[in-house]
Amino acid sequence: MASKRKIIGAGIAVLAVLTLAGCLGEQGSARGGSVDAAGTWGDPSEDGSPYLELEDDGSFSGSDGCNNLTGSWSVDEAEQVLFENVASTLKACEDVDDWLAHLSAATVAGDTMTVLGQDGAEIGQLERSSDTPST
CATH of the domain at 123: 2.40.128.270
User: Is residue 88 a contact partner of residue 57, using CB atoms and an 8 Å limit?
Assistant: no
- 52 and 2 assigned to the same domain: no
Q: What pLDDT band is residue 22 in, cutting at 50, 70 and 90?
A: very low
- 25 and 47 assigned to the same domain: no
- 6 and 44 assigned to the same domain: no
Residue 133 lies in a domain: no
Residue 134 lies in a domain: no
**pLDDT (tens digit per residue) in 63-77:** 999 999 999 999 999
- DSSP-based three-state secondary structure for 102: helix
- What is the structure's pLDDT at 33? 67
- 43 and 102 assigned to the same domain: yes
Alpha-carbon 120 to chain mean position: 17
User: Is residue 56 a contact partner of residue 83, using CB atoms and an 8 Å limit?
Assistant: no
User: Is residue 124 a contact partner of residue 96, using CB atoms and an 8 Å limit?
Assistant: no
- DSSP-based three-state secondary structure for 59: strand
**pLDDT (tens digit per residue) in 34-85:** 898 999 999 999 989 999 999 999 999 999 999 999 999 999 999 999 999 9
Please give the DSSP secondary-structure letter assigned to residue 101: G
Domain region containing 64: 39-127
**Number of domains composing the chain:** 2
pTM of the model: 0.74
For residue 57, give the nearest of 102, 26, 98, 95 by alpha carbon. Answer: 26
- 53 and 115 assigned to the same domain: yes
- 57 and 96 assigned to the same domain: yes
Question: CA-CA distance, 107 to 35, in Å (whole number)?
Answer: 9
- 105 and 58 assigned to the same domain: yes
Question: What is the arrangement of strands in the sheet containing 112-116, beginning at the earlier edge strand?
Answer: 39-42, 51-54, 59-63, 68-75, 81-88, 105-109, 112-116, 122-127
Residue 54 lies in a domain: yes
- 110 and 83 assigned to the same domain: yes
